[in-house]
Structure 1
Amino acid sequence: MLQAPQRTALSGPALVRLLARLADVDVPEFRQSLSDRLSDWLGWTDAIALSSALTGAPLAVPAGARAFGSAEEAECARVRASLVKTIAGDSMFAADKRRRFVHVAQQRASAEMQAAPAVPVDYAQFRQRYVALQQSMETGVGNLRGRLRALLAAKSPAMGRLAVLDAVMERALSERERNLLATVPVLLAGHFERLRDAARQAQAVEQTADDAAQAARAEEGAKIASLTVHSAAAAQAADAAKASPKHAQLVAPGAWLDVFRKDMQSVLLAELDVRLQPVEGLLAALRTR
């Protein structure tokens, strides 16, 4: 018997692994070295700037410069927590509290479900919100990174060189990073459509099963009524046919949209972790004695 090949476990940032899972694709491990990859991303002007940062005279430490301490640590934690809170508390990710599991056998509940407004299925509003949150992350992380570089430059000439190097790398790679992260909402659009299509197919199958069950009950009720001599018995049979439960199951209209909201929120948090990696590097340098 042929067996499907096992998908290899993907290493790397959580953002990459999460997007690979949501897109249901097998991403091969990247074999190219970091230096080779950077050579593809950096131009000759970037190389000159990097060379100057690495070989130039170290910057003098300004007198009376502010030192890194617990207050600065707390400010970094505050910025991170603020961005996480912005993502976690965004109204776009709030599930519809009116949506509840209801038993379709209850005629009243079924009627209310049918009368309820349709779940919005336009991805454009999600894309717009994702891009807005990306801009908030870029601004917040960029400002924090600049402040940490200033603190690093005030620590020692060697640390000042590292601050200059980080600034050069940010300028050289920011456009590439922005273009790559701009593809994330595009990948999420495919995930959105797959969830929506699967939900529609499931609803169609369920509706077909319900229609078949209802037709069978109606036919059975008609047979019982035709064989019953007494009108009271016929009425009881008809009432039983009307009251008999439909295809017994629990239905959650729009549940797929709640799944997508949760996935989109997880992707945003994973992207925030990626954006904060340079900040973590600067913090590690500042914590050295």
Structure 2
Amino acid sequence: MAQLLQRWRLKGPRQLDLTLPLAPPPAAAPPLAEQLAAQLAWTDAVRLAQALALPAQPPTAAEPQAAAARQTARDWADAALERLRAELRAGFEDPLLAEDAARPQALGDLALADALAPWRLHHAQQQRGMAARVNSLRERLRAHLTGCGAALAALAALDTVLEQALAAREAPALAGLAARLFGERATRHHALDAQRWPALLWTDLQQALWAELDFRLQPLLGLREALDDPR
């Protein structure tokens, strides 16, 4: 079970925040155990320890059925992840906003914050949709793992603990991306080019959404990877 924990790809909120362009490179991540210790409450740590302490189960007569279930789960997960990425990224690239961003725009008497209102709305809608769909797929993937042998069922239980424990810390960091994007970044781009700032900020917005999607998918990719080697 301790080996399975390594497949749970932990990335801190600070690393996500630093994916915006022109930010300094992130420092090397500390060991996984140190990251967890810094982010888990003691009650969560107890639940995590209990999940990790589950005894290993030897192969049983049901192993051939579990192998078949893993193949089914792999096929399903690959298709579901590909479809999710494609549909979410299509939503990121709003054609009307992209067309507006491509045109030079002088603000005139319009405040920058007012000009950014449609962009803020788009970003908030994409974040909400992304969270709902990724969380739903994660829950469904865990359900598949529970039928793929004892080790993967234990991993699904462990992932449930981690999701619940870390959600409260991740949410404020993810919500704070909008303040940076439409505050510091927008102001900087407008100061650099008062005509073409929308194109620069649109690129930032797209990259921020893609980075957030990659961040949110990390635990799902860890679960999917475990289907290839359930030891």
Out of 266, 270, 275, the residue aligned to residue 207 of structure 2 is: 266
Matched, 1:136 2:112: no
Is the 1:58–1:161 contact (alpha carbons within 8 Å) kept by the matching residues of 2? Answer: no
Out of 65, 77, 81, the residue aligned to residue 76 of structure 1 is: 81
Counterpart position of 2:168: 175
Is the 2:101–2:202 contact (alpha carbons within 8 Å) kept by the matching residues of 1? Answer: no
Secondary structure of residue in 1 paired with 2:123:
helix
The offset of 1:129, in angstroms, is 2.3
Alpha-carbon RMSD across the aligned residues, in angstroms, is: 3.4
> Residues of 1 paired with 2:185 and 2:155: CA distance?
40
- Which amino acid is 1:132 matched to? Q
> Residues of 2 paired with 1:40 and 1:275: CA distance?
20
> Residues of 2 paired with 1:90 and 1:271: CA distance?
20
Is the 1:58–1:160 contact (alpha carbons within 8 Å) kept by the matching residues of 2? Answer: no
> Residues of 1 paired with 2:213 and 2:29: CA distance?
25
Structure 1 residues 185-213: Cα deviation after superposition (integer angstroms, max 9, x where no partner): 1111211011112334xxxxxxxxxxxxx
The offset of 1:28, in angstroms, is 6.2
Is the 2:15–2:26 contact (alpha carbons within 8 Å) kept by the matching residues of 1? Answer: no
> Residues of 2 paired with 1:31 and 1:83: CA distance?
28
Out of 38, 45, 48, the residue aligned to residue 46 of structure 2 is: 48
Is the 1:93–1:261 contact (alpha carbons within 8 Å) kept by the matching residues of 2? Answer: yes
Note closer, same or farther for the CA distance 1:119–1:134 as it changes in structure 2 (3 Å cut): same
Secondary structure of residue in 1 paired with 2:19:
helix
Matched, 1:278 2:225: no
Out of 107, 123, 126, the residue aligned to residue 119 of structure 2 is: 126
Secondary structure of residue in 1 paired with 2:168:
helix
The offset of 1:68, in angstroms, is 1.3
- Which amino acid is 2:46 matched to? I
Is the 1:92–1:126 contact (alpha carbons within 8 Å) kept by the matching residues of 2? Answer: yes
> Residues of 1 paired with 2:73 and 2:29: CA distance?
38
> Residues of 2 paired with 1:28 and 1:137: CA distance?
24
> Residues of 2 paired with 1:88 and 1:148: CA distance?
27
- Structure with greater contact order relative to length (CA < 8 Å, sep ≥ 6): 2
> Residues of 2 paired with 1:57 and 1:27: CA distance?
40
The offset of 1:265, in angstroms, is 0.8
- Which amino acid is 2:98 matched to? F
> Residues of 2 paired with 1:14 and 1:93: CA distance?
27
Structure 1 residues 148-195: Cα deviation after superposition (integer angstroms, max 9, x where no partner): 111111100111001100110000001111111112111112110111
- The number of equivalent residue pairs is 207
- Which amino acid is 1:82 matched to? E
The offset of 1:135, in angstroms, is 1.1
The offset of 1:130, in angstroms, is 1.4
Tell me, which stretches of 5 or more residues in structure 2 are unaligned?
1-11
> Residues of 2 paired with 1:152 and 1:31: CA distance?
28
Out of 92, 115, 118, the residue aligned to residue 97 of structure 2 is: 92
Is the 1:192–1:260 contact (alpha carbons within 8 Å) kept by the matching residues of 2? Answer: yes
Note closer, same or farther for the CA distance 1:162–1:28 as it changes in structure 2 (3 Å cut): closer
* TM-score normalized by the length of structure 1: 0.61
Counterpart position of 1:255: 196
Tell me, which stretches of 5 or more residues in structure 1 are unaligned?
1-11, 101-112, 201-253
> Whose Rg is larger?
1
